[in-house]
Structure 1
Amino acid sequence: MGIVHPDRYFARISAIDVQKDLLGCGITHALLDMDNTLVSRASGDVPSDVRNWLSRARNAGVSFCIVSNNWHDTPRIHGRELGIPVVAKACKPLPHGLLAARAAIGARSNDTVVIGDQLLTDVMGAHMLGMKAYLVAPLSEVDLRHTNALKPLREALLAGFVPENEHAASSCAPDARD
């Protein structure tokens, strides 16, 4: 599996089964991307299914940190609203932001997953530090100009991957595609 290929690919964060896909795989910590993973770029809101998933995961003992490349105050606003610590200006895939987030919640590489919607920031950053990476389909088609420009590359890199939904079989092992 390549550095930009996710360990798992889900239709959205709420499709990740807390018991099977996290705790059952030894994952007790999650570093969460914000834009189009937790918060829709189209509406600026956290969808109710995402809020419910965060609550279920937190109640099951999973700890979180939001890791965002944003340089404005939006990540901290959403972090306060959701009760999740934040590392902003993370410069993913560079390691310093992800390492700071991991340290903030007392996590180690082997018990942590990075969950996000971008291959070249979230997935690559996770794999560079030996963490699992769960890719989620973006909550919205609305995105930044440079992210939209990379969509053809994303589609080429994800050729053969199909996002898992709420009814998919769970597996801690990487997807077998060959």
Structure 2
Amino acid sequence: MDKEILIAIIGGLVTIVVGLITAFASYIGAIRGSKLQIEKDQQAMVLQRDADRKKRQLEYNEEIRYRRELIERIISHEIKDNFLKIKSDTFEREVLYSDNVKDVSIFFRKDFSFVEFDQAKYELIKYQSDKVSEVMLIYDAFKIIKRREMLKNFTPDELRELRKAYLICKERYS
């Protein structure tokens, strides 16, 4: 064989080996690069998903807060109207700040309104707050008044609830 052919064959083999090594290195590099890009995209997706979740949670919390405040505002008007029906200096003097109320004969008007409360009570119980607890206490007192009609018919526990509800109403709705 001629020297030139041998050099050409060796040169061709070296070129093929270098080409194979280059192709293999390119393949490995492409795989690693793809994996890195996939990981980076996954991290970006996780960050975006977390940001979207936080945004949705904030929107949900804001909606809940708005609905609760709206319900409380609507009900507060009804509470004020009902409270003004029982509010009196005589009641405060002889019942609220007195220990002996059995001798006091106060007859309560029975025309309380429960329309707004009855419509919103199932929505209200979804929210846990001091204000909701106060609203429930106040309406319980109104219902006791409606049921008992006269002060002398109240049990000591009912009278205690009435006093507590009355003081809350006096503070918030007078």
**TM-score where L is the length of structure 2:** 0.23
Specify which structure has the higher proportion of strand. Answer: 1
Higher RCO (CA 8 Å, separation ≥ 6 residues): 1
Computing the radius of gyration from Cα coordinates, the structure with the larger value is 2
